[in-house]
């Protein structure tokens, strides 16, 4: 079978320490980038968005639940879809306890375009109790570049989307509320920007075989499936 070469303890240690240096460099690069993110400006949200929730209509301000920071996962669920996106479903399944967010003045919520009754059914099927509201009656998903109208020249991940069919894309957006209840958009990411919250990927990254997806540069013969497949 395909497996890593066997080495002596001291041969292994030499290579492990070489990798450790690069891991530390990566951690520091991540810290620097996170520091830069904390210095982004923010843009006031002037439009009023009203979402459908199981408890009735909610504004974007309501979604903060009194906290100052709001992290929104843009869950791909079109109004006509029979099921939620499997990738987004996996992402949410992989989220564990997020109590630390609330302890740090931050609320997590999911937003999708499907009607709230459909969202509730999908959440129940998966045993989720995260806040999940519908943006089906507003422009929220279009304004934050995660839903696309037929024939529209849209952008995704800050670049031309390159296609004009109807569709949904994954993303995470962050909003800030000041003490006067003004709401600001601070950040959005798309595509691979959200994948680090997936525990299985983070853990598989530590194994010899990695994620076992074909985007990876792995030794010849390593087990691989289609990426995100």
- Binders of another protein among residues 160 to 179 (CB under 8 A) are 172, 174, 176, 178-179
Residue range at the interface with another protein (CB under 8 A); choices 53-61, 74-82, 95-103, 162-170: 95-103
Contact call for residue 192 and another protein (CB under 8 A)? yes
Least Å distance, CB 178 to another protein, is 6
- Phi, psi dihedral angles at 93 (to 5 degrees): -55, -35
Q: Which two tokens stand for residue 92?
A: 């949410």
Asked if 6 touches another protein (CB under 8 A), the answer is yes
Rule CB under 8 A: which of 7-26 touch another protein? 7-9, 11-13, 15-17, 19-20, 22-23, 26
207 binds another protein (CB under 8 A): yes
- Tell whether residue 104 is a contact of another protein (CB under 8 A): yes
Q: 122-141: which residues touch another protein (CB under 8 A)? A: none
| 194 touches 172 (CB < 8 A) | yes
The CB density around residue 67, as the number of other CB atoms within 10 Å, is 14
Query: Which of residues 12 and 152 has its CB atom nearest to another protein in the complex?
Result: 12
**Counting contacts by CB under 8 A, is residue 121 touching another protein?**
no
Structural tokens at position 54: 């199981």
Q: Given the complex with another protein, which of 8 and 150 has the nearer CB atom?
A: 8
Task: Find the farthest-apart pair of alpha carbons in the chain and give their distance in angstroms, rounded.
Answer: 64
**Comparing C-alpha atoms, which of 110, 111, 105 is closest to residue 66?**
105
- The SS3 call for residue 168 is strand
Collect all residues with Cβ–Cβ distance below 8 Å to 164 and sequence separation of at least 6.
148, 150, 151, 152, 153, 154
User: Would you say 83 or 165 has its CB closer to another protein?
Assistant: 83
Mark the segment that binds another protein (CB under 8 A) among 48-56, 58-66, 77-85, 105-113. 105-113
Mapped onto helix, strand or coil, the DSSP state of residue 148 is: strand
């Amino acid at each position: 079978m395909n497996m890593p070469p066997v080495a002596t303890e001291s041969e292994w240690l030499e290579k492990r320490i070489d990798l450790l240096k690069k891991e530390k460099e990566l951690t520091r690069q991540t810290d620097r980038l996170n520091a830069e993110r904390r210095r982004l400006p923010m843009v006031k949200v002037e439009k009023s968005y009203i979402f459908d929730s199981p408890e009735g209509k909610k504004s974007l301000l309501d979604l903060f639940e009194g906290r100052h920071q709001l992290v929104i996962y843009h869950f791909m669920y079109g109004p006509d879809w029979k099921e939620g996106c499997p990738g987004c479903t996996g992402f949410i399944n992989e989220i564990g306890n997020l109590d630390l967010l609330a302890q740090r003045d931050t609320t997590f919520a999911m937003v999708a375009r499907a009607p709230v009754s459909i969202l509730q059914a999908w959440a129940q099927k998966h045993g989720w109790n995260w806040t999940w509201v519908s943006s089906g009656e507003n422009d929220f998903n279009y304004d934050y570049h995660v839903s696309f109208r037929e024939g529209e020249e849209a952008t995704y991940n800050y670049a031309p989307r390159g296609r004009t069919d109807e569709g949904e894309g994954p993303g995470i957006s962050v909003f800030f509320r000041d003490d006067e209840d003004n709401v600001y958009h601070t950040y959005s990411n798309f595509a691979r920007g959200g994948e680090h919250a997936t525990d299985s990927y983070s853990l598989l990254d530590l194994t010899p075989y990695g994620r076992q997806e074909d985007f990876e540069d792995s030794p010849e013969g390593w087990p691989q499936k289609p990426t995100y497949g």
